[in-house]
Structure 1
């Protein structure tokens, strides 16, 4: 067994005491005071999110790894970036990411605005020299100036505003009104008998110790203030089988040995649409993921009936996806910004 810090133990006990505090997903996502969500920002952000021309090869956009036309991920164990390069972590869904208090598996980005900048200059992901170079590409496309002007005013084509626009778009990617949401709001026919049994077992088993709150991603925190848990906590056959302890977790971001194996709690919303599972995408079956979590985090072996009931309950966390239309991207005239 790995050792938990006293603070983490106290926090887990606190979560368990609130296990029956079921919350519905809000209809809107919180935004920082300096970046209120507007329709103009959302329009610009969606264009930038979908445009692959801001990768070094012109082949990778934000949507390549976080496909909002599906589950908000790419269905791969680990994502593929420029030149076919692959990273070491699974792409988390962008749906409901606005409800995370920090971004990335290791929480290295406090806000969505910070996260939006990261992949652009990552040599494995979008492969640009830096975000400023990517912004220079944006500026060479005349049609983008008009959209920036509408969203932020004149002379607003900056890296910071581009990131704010992408973040504003991502804050519209929420999926309320799942069967679970309707159930906790009072419609007791919204979930079937097995899903209700799974909901009760989910709490009884201790899953809500970490997967609490409206987004099932841990306790409510201020934007930019993360909360992390150790994964895996208990050593067993699953740890070696799925190589769960090979990633240093938050230690990669902080350099602190005490952060080894610590991860931000992922949301369970729409989890039936986001296989494969875990930070390394090593488990491709939701029932198996439930077994793994029970054993590695709670040191518990669940009966198969309980596994099936919990999986049924997790299916009730899939909400209503808003309609997403692909934007018309502004073109360059008589030249390419990608060609050498």
Structure 2
């Protein structure tokens, strides 16, 4: 009897928590477009959620708990939230990600605000879905360090709170890696940020931007050529074309040109094996999208990130090599870094110092509302212990 009451108490507590988080986030469905922040696509919940993984309040809550839980990592020190911190616009302040045993990766941790709109995940687009992206860091030795997904599942199955949560969320006594990915991605899809000063200005509030921001917007749309990649579409103001481009950042690595030349001189038959070989060499990660697509014109190309909240997420670029937005603007004003595969949109801009300052000021006007996400009690206890 006591065991039954305890189990019932766990169920009630989980459902109550789920309802609370659901109410504090955005509702889902055709009638809920008004819950999407100003400036974001009104059809978000209709067209950016996969049919095979519909949003539910319970799933979002389970995903929140998993997102903050360091027990998913091999040594219990790293959670998704370690690199994607709510207080830093769901990014961190390190040049590259730092995982278990303080191991350093090769890529900067991107913000996952508005990640629902990405058509590919990671800097090189190696995952097509958010569901897949959510579970790959678990088995990356430089991130969460688990040997296999089975190791993660075994730990979750040994925790009564998760056994109950998965049962209540999915309606069956099953915990597997697909359901883990479904839950985490459902939570991540609620991390929407809009209603920036620019959004308010475009909605009719003509005092939402100051003079410097207005001048910066003119540079952004005009001489700065920023909208060639960071698009401003009236109905989808996402500030990214979601393409992969070589802007020359990778070319600054001392090994890049040597690696790139090997690929350009290889035959089509030789490419797959050569890509695999070069990927593990120093500087191999700088080959970017090419490591996934095996297309020679993807050498050194990386995902075009959204610029929403960009002022909150230094350092910048896929390798975290730019400390400030002023550094980023200076890099592009100089035309990027010339290399064998530089994007044709890149060339010196000739912006004045004032234009560069105004452009940086305008980028600050893309800072929007921040989701208020509470850490689960279990994560807070774990943090105090560490």
Return the TM-score normalized by structure 2.
0.73
1:272 corresponds in structure 2 to: 311
1:291 corresponds in structure 2 to: 330
1:82 corresponds in structure 2 to: 100
**Are residues 316 and 244 of structure 1, via their aligned partners in 2, closer, same or farther at CA, if it must alter by over 3 Å?**
farther
| Counterpart Cα distance in 1 of 2:91 and 2:256 | 20
Higher helix proportion:
2
Query: Aligned with 2:200: secondary structure?
Result: helix
Query: Aligned with 2:378: secondary structure?
Result: coil
1:4 corresponds in structure 2 to: none
Larger radius of gyration: 2
Render the CA deviation track for 1:83-130: whole Å, top value 9, x for unaligned.
Answer: 111011111111111121111000001111110011000011111011
Residue from 347, 355, 370 that aligns with 1:306: 355
Residue from 146, 150, 157 that aligns with 1:132: 150
1:217 corresponds in structure 2 to: 240
- Give the paired residue count: 298
1:33-52 paired onto structure 2 within 5 Å:
33-52=51-70
Render the CA deviation track for 1:293-337: whole Å, top value 9, x for unaligned.
Answer: 232133223211111111111101110112111112399xxxxxx
| Counterpart Cα distance in 2 of 1:56 and 1:182 | 45
**Are residues 244 and 183 of structure 1, via their aligned partners in 2, closer, same or farther at CA, if it must alter by over 3 Å?**
farther
Say whether 1:102 aligns with 2:120: yes
- Greater relative contact order (Cα < 8 A, sep 6+): 1
Render the CA deviation track for 1:251-293: whole Å, top value 9, x for unaligned.
Answer: 2223443321111111111011100000110110111111212
Query: Aligned with 2:358: secondary structure?
Result: helix
| Counterpart Cα distance in 1 of 2:110 and 2:371 | 19
Query: Aligned with 1:280: secondary structure?
Result: coil
**Are residues 330 and 230 of structure 1, via their aligned partners in 2, closer, same or farther at CA, if it must alter by over 3 Å?**
closer
Residue from 70, 76, 86 that aligns with 2:88: 70
2:287 corresponds in structure 1 to: 248
Say whether 1:230 aligns with 2:246: yes
1:17 corresponds in structure 2 to: none
2:218 corresponds in structure 1 to: 200
**Are residues 330 and 155 of structure 1, via their aligned partners in 2, closer, same or farther at CA, if it must alter by over 3 Å?**
farther
Query: Aligned with 2:165: secondary structure?
Result: helix
| Counterpart Cα distance in 2 of 1:241 and 1:60 | 28
The answer as to whether partners of 2:245 and 2:298 remain within 8 angstroms in 1 is no
Residue from 8, 11, 24 that aligns with 2:39: 24
CA shift, 1:70, in A, is 2.2
| Counterpart Cα distance in 1 of 2:309 and 2:349 | 24
Residue from 312, 315, 319 that aligns with 2:364: 315
| Counterpart Cα distance in 2 of 1:87 and 1:282 | 13
How big is the alpha-carbon RMSD for the aligned residues of Structure 1 and Structure 2? 2.3
The answer as to whether partners of 2:251 and 2:300 remain within 8 angstroms in 1 is no
CA shift, 1:243, in A, is 9.0
CA shift, 1:244, in A, is 8.5
Render the CA deviation track for 1:178-225: whole Å, top value 9, x for unaligned.
Answer: 111111112111111111111111010211000014221216xxxxxx
